[in-house]
């Protein structure tokens, strides 16, 4: 009796017959997709956004009086519950204990274990303040031009939107004075600058060779490091905020913000260890000191406040949701054109995503290049959200000029 279904809301992936859970294969595919995507993304927040974009909703149920319920977007709480529900492992929880169930499992042991480990790791990261909606990537690393630590802070503006900043210690905890000196920098601006410069460093064979020349490495080790750097750059866009933070904290010693520049100081030994692996027996560096990556940037007052200006233009922050939507669209196109003989209807059934959404995603991949750039850099038409863009793309023309008119975009 302890392994029997005891009633209540029937979980996604199953139906009930004669008080037993019976596999609903269509819904079970959706459950497997949710587990696999969480294992890849490592973030319930990102998973929820992706499911929203694809129109994936909770189980639809018919109540005793014939009233339909369910079919709602997945809240973060609902996703946490789903990902930790032992029913999907073929077990039943009863009075705080878990017993072998009398139903078929949907998730295999390996995937279940991987997901539970990621959930546990993220719980620990939240305790350390590392998984906020926008984690402070440079906390503990960034200083101003006179060596003051810069503390991550935020301000809530009209409409409930939060804005993040890095602020010099004297402006945060020093005596209130009109003569207090320091910097107050938009967090998104400086984080984008540092990440872009770091990525460019890993992508530059010349810069990497110069950095690695501090160590007496043979040609094979250098080639191995270059290959690892190339793989890192290739997967850069898919790195989660937690992975990016781990990378930055591993290789960056300090970020110094001065009047006309930002300097990222890298730790040579730690950098070489990441590229060559911890088992590599690194010799002592022939040249002491940090590797300095310079970014020419100034703080200027623009229409919407203080911004970091690079090469005459304001640092632009990529729109993560638009980037993810476009990435998913190209993945859909690649899957359909890969020669696996899978129709759009078959893919719709496999992923639990409507045919209309998949068709709209395909059209997204034919957007004009300047429109793609505007969307990625956070310059869409006013009020245009990823969901709104997907809806408009259901009837998107192939002509690039007509696309501008349909989407109401002014590109530059």
pLDDT at 382: 52
**Two tokens at 34?**
């949710």
- The tens digit of pLDDT for each residue in 67-105 reads 777 888 898 889 999 999 999 999 988 777 888 988 999
Predicted pLDDT at 412: 44
Listed as ranges, residues in the chain with pLDDT below 70 are 1-3, 63-66, 123-135, 156-162, 172-181, 299-319, 338-341, 376-384, 408-412
- φ and ψ at residue 95, rounded to 5 degrees: 50, 45
pLDDT tens digit string along 269-302?
999 999 998 777 787 887 778 999 998 887 665 5
According to the model, what pLDDT value does residue 229 have? Answer: 92
Pair 266, 291: CB distance under 8 Å: yes
Considering only CA atoms, which of 183, 161, 156 is closest in space to residue 170? Answer: 183
Q: What is the pLDDT of residue 314?
A: 45
329, 362 Cβ separation under 8 angstroms: yes
| Domains in the chain with CATH codes | 14-127 (3.90.1750.20), 142-314 (no CATH), 320-407 (no CATH)
* Nearest one of 40, 49, 9, 71 to 239, comparing CA atoms: 40
Q: How far apart are the first and last CA of the chain?
A: 67
Answer yes or no: are the C-beta atoms of 111 and 39 closer than 8 Å: yes
Tokens of 383: 């009020």
DSSP 365-393: TT--HHHHHHHHTT-PSTT--HHHHHHHG
CA distance 381 to 407: 7
Tell me how many degrees the CA angle 307-308-314 measures, rounded to the nearest 5: 80
Show the CA angle centred on residue 209, arms to residues 208 and 215, nearest 5°.
Answer: 105
> What is the pLDDT, as a whole number, of residue 267?
93
Tokens 């209130």 locate to 176
What pTM value is reported for the model?
0.47
Q: How far apart are CA 297 and CA 294, in angstroms?
A: 9
Using an 8 Å Cβ cutoff, are 21 and 14 in contact? yes
Least Cα distance to 226 among 254, 207, 247 occurs for 207
What is the distance, to the nearest Å, from the Cα of residue 91 to the centroid of all Cα atoms in its chain?
Answer: 32
Classify each residue of 42-78 as buried b or exposed e, where b means 16 or more C-beta atoms within 10 Å of its C-beta: bbbbbbbbbbebbebbbbeeeeeeeeeeeeeebeeee
pLDDT at position 84, please? 93
Residue among 127, 110, 126 nearest 35 (CA): 110
SS3 readout for 151-183? EEEEEECCCCCEEEEEEEHHHHHCCCCCCCCCC
């Amino acid at each position: 009796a302890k392994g029997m279904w005891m009633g209540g809301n029937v979980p996604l992936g199953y139906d009930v017959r004669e008080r037993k859970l019976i596999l609903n294969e269509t819904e079970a595919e959706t459950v497997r997709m949710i587990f696999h995507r969480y294992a890849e993304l490592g973030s319930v927040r990102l998973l929820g956004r992706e499911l929203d974009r694809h129109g994936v909703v909770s189980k639809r149920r018919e109540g005793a009086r014939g009233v339909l319920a369910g079919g709602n977007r997945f809240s973060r709480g609902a996703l946490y519950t789903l990902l930790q529900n032992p029913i999907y492992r073929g077990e039943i929880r009863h009075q705080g204990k878990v017993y072998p169930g009398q139903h078929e499992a949907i998730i295999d042991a390996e995937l279940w274990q991987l997901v539970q480990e990621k959930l546990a790791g993220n719980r620990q990261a939240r305790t350390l303040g590392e998984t906020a909606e926008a984690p402070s990537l440079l906390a503990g690393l960034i200083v101003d031009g006179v060596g003051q630590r810069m503390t991550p802070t935020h301000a809530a503006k009209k409409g409930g939107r939060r804005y993040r900043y890095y602020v010099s210690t004297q402006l945060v905890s020093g005596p209130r004075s009109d003569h207090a000196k320091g910097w107050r920098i938009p967090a998104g601006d400086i984080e984008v600058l540092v990440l872009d410069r770091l990525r460019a460093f890993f992508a530059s064979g010349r810069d990497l060779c110069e950095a690695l020349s501090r160590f007496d490495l043979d040609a094979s080790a250098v080639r191995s490091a270059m290959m690892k750097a190339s793989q890192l750059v290739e997967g850069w866009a898919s790195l989660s905020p937690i992975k990016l933070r781990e990378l930055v904290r591993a290789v960056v010693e300090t970020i110094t913000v001065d009047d006309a520049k930002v300097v990222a100081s890298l730790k040579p030994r730690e950098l070489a260890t990441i590229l060559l692996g911890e088992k590599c027996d690194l010799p002592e560096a022939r040249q002491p000191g940090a590797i300095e990556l310079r970014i020419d940037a100034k703080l200027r007052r623009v229409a919407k406040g203080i911004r970091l200006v690079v090469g005459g233009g304001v640092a632009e922050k990529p729109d993560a949701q638009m980037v993810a939507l476009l990435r998913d669209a190209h993945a859909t196109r690649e899957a359909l054109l890969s020669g696996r003989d899978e129709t759009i209807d078959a893919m719709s059934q496999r992923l639990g995503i409507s045919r209309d959404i998949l068709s709209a995603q395909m059209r997204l991949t034919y957007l004009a290049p300047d429109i793609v750039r505007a969307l990625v850099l956070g310059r869409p038409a006013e009020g245009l959200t990823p969901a709104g863009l997907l809806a408009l793309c259901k009837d998107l023309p192939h002509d690039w000029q007509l696309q501008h008119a349909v989407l109401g975009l002014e590109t530059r």
